[in-house]
Structure formats: structure tokens, C-alpha cells
Amino acid sequence: ALRWLGALLLSITLAAPALAAGKHLINGIDANYPPFAYVDETGKPAGFDVDSMNWIAKKMGFTVEHKPMDWDGIIPALLAKKIDMVCSGMSISPERKAQANFSDPYWTIRKIFITKKGSKVTEDQIYNGKIKLGVQRGTNEHEMLQKAQAEKKYNYQLRFYDSGPMAIEDLLNGRIDAIGLDAAPAEDAMRKGKPVQEVGVFGSDEFGVAIRKDDAETMKLVNEGYKLLKADPYWKELQAKYLGN
Ligand code: ARG
């Protein structure tokens, strides 16, 4: 009977979301990445990932604070324990997995080429390096394009940018002819009236939440939280609000 009682107590403990009671977690975001993370007109962090994590925190019983920082410094900040997670349009990649763990994937995203609206630039010209192709430095797109080039699959003429919006600026100015990037931010720019168009697809990957390798507790909260979120009507609402689908 004692063993039975022990099993019962154990199952109660495991089922209790009170596991997280009082926990305060800091999410590092790159606020230059709408529709996943940005700062709204009132200066408040917003976006698909920000709202997702707010919902998860409430459900799982922790508080979350979204801290805007440079994309370049975001993994170093995680490793230095300045933040507890990165839920900010971050792709799961082999390079990053060597440094941190990732939650279960929560979103699949296409990698697309865009040009200025009305431009005659073709996908072939991009692959053959006939035109200048911009990409954000340190992204998985950067990694993917460079790998294809190293393998001599394609001969891209790459130009590197510190942020996505800066690349779009240069595309519209005519300093570059195309950009390789995540589909959702490009579609977001189109919805906001930026004169750009999609001309091809060069791959896809999955977004996950980066968490320190020694932090199994946060990992559990985040994975449990996404399971609940994905089963809730709010998940569809978020997609309609931020991703236009
Ligand atoms: N999803 C891509 C990656 O993780 C692009 C991210 C670009 N920037 C950002 N702030 N989320 O590499």
C-alpha cells in the first residue's frame, strides 16, 4: 500500500503546473523581426512569439519579460544567463544546437527570394550570381546559402546585412537586386505596403525556443506550454492576427 501511495503522490506532483510557481523568466527578443517580435507604437513588445510566450507563461504559472537585444548577441546573452530563453523567430540549426538546446519545433517556415515589385530578376539569375543577393548575417538563411555555394551547387553573389529591415531598404534603393529570407517577415512587409514580390523558394526550416543545455526545468515548461497552446483556439487566433492565415 505504501508503494501505491508513493506512485499516487508522484503522479500528482508531475501533473501540477504549480511547478513553476513564482518563476520569472526573461525572453531575449530581436525587436526588429515582425511579425514574430517587435515593439509596438506604445513601446511594448509584441508579435506572434511574444503573445505565444505570454499565453504559455500564464498557463504554466510563471511570469515572462521580453528583453529586446541585438540578434548577434542573443545566444551569448543566453549562455551568460542574462536571459533564460530565446523565443524570437529563431530557427533550429546544427550550429546553434551545438550551443543550446531547442524546444520542440513550433513553426515551419519557407525561405524565399524577394525582389522589388515589377523587377525582371529571375530565380536563375539569383542562383547564377548574375545579380546581388542580400541576406541577414548570422541567420540560418546565411548558413544555407553559403553552404550551397561552398558545395558549388550555386554561385550566389552575396551581400551581408545586420538586420532584415536594412536589407529591404537597400533592395528598394536598388543597391541589391534580391534578398533571401524567412517568408513571414517578407509577407508582413508586403501587407504593410512595401513594394516587394516573391520570386522563388530555396528551402525551409523550423522555429524553436533556445534554452540553456543545463536548464531542463524551463525546457519542460516551454514544451508543455506549446502543447497546450497548440490545442487551444488562441493558436489559430494568433496566426490570423500576425501571419495572415
Ligand atoms: N529564422 C532565421 C534564423 O533564425 C532568421 C532570423 C532573423 N532575425 C531575427 N531577428 N529573428 O536564422
CA of 158 to the centre of ligand 1 (A): 17
pTM: 0.89
Helix (H, G, I), strand (E, B) or coil at 130: coil
Residues 6+ away with beta carbon under 8 Å from 112:
180, 181, 182, 183, 186, 198, 199, 200, 201, 202
C-beta 71 within 6 A of ligand 1:
yes
* Contact present, 149 and 180 (Cβ < 8 Å): no
Query: Which of 227, 233, 241 shows the shortest CA–CA distance to 56?
Result: 227
Task: Identify the pLDDT of residue 10.
Answer: 54
Residue 136 Cβ inside 6 Å of ligand 1? The answer reads yes
Look over the chain and give the mean of its residue pLDDT values, rounded to a whole number: 93
Which of the listed residues 32, 90, 93, 95 should we mutate to test ligand 1's pocket, taking the one with most ligand atoms within 8 A of CB?
Answer: 90
49 lines ligand 1 (CB under 6 A): no
pLDDT at 7: 60
Distance of CA 91 from the midpoint of ligand 1 (Å): 6
Cell of residue 240, nine digits? 490570423
> What integer pLDDT is reported at residue 39 of this predicted model?
96
| Mean pLDDT, rounded, for 132-151 | 95
Report pLDDT digits (tens) over 187-233: 999 999 999 999 999 999 999 999 999 999 999 999 999 999 999 99
Q: What is the pLDDT of residues 92-116, one digit of tens each?
A: 999 999 999 999 999 999 999 999 9
Percent of all residues in the chain with a pLDDT value above 70, rounded to a whole number: 91
**DSSP 8-class letter at 91:** B
Q: Give me the percent of the chain exceeding a pLDDT of 90.
A: 87
Instruction: Please state the atom number of ligand 1 nearest to the C-alpha of residue 139.
Output: 12
2 alpha carbon to ligand 1 midpoint, in Å?
A: 52
Angle at 139 between CA 137 and CA 142, to 5 degrees: 70
Q: 123 burial class (0-12, 13-18, 19+ CB within 10 angstroms)? A: middle
pLDDT class for 11, splitting at 50, 70, 90?
Answer: low
Identify each DSSP E strand in the chain by its residue range: 23-29, 32-33, 37-39, 45-46, 62-68, 85-86, 101-102, 107-116, 132-136, 157-161, 178-182, 196-207, 210-211
H helix count then E strand count, the chain: 10, 13
> What's the CA-to-centroid distance between 223 and ligand 1, angstroms?
20
- Nearest residue to 114 (alpha-carbon basis) of 35, 157, 171: 171
ipTM over 0.85: yes
Q: Are residues 163 and 71 in contact, defined by beta-carbon separation less than 8 angstroms?
A: yes
- Note the Cα 165 to chain centre separation in Å: 15
Q: Is the CB of 88 under 6 A from ligand 1?
A: yes
Tell me what the mean pLDDT of segment 113-121 comes to. Answer: 97
Reported confidence tier of residue 163, pLDDT bands at 50, 70, 90: confident
Asked if residue 27 has its Cβ within 6 Å of ligand 1, the reply is no
User: How much distance in Å is there from the Cα of 212 to the middle of ligand 1?
Assistant: 18
Quote the CA–CA distance of 98 and 160 in Å, as a whole number.
Answer: 24
**Residue 241 confidence (pLDDT):** 96
The whole-number pLDDT of residue 141 equals 97
- Quick one: pLDDT at residue 8? 56
Determine the Cα–Cα distance for residues 245 and 242; give it in Å rounded to an integer: 8
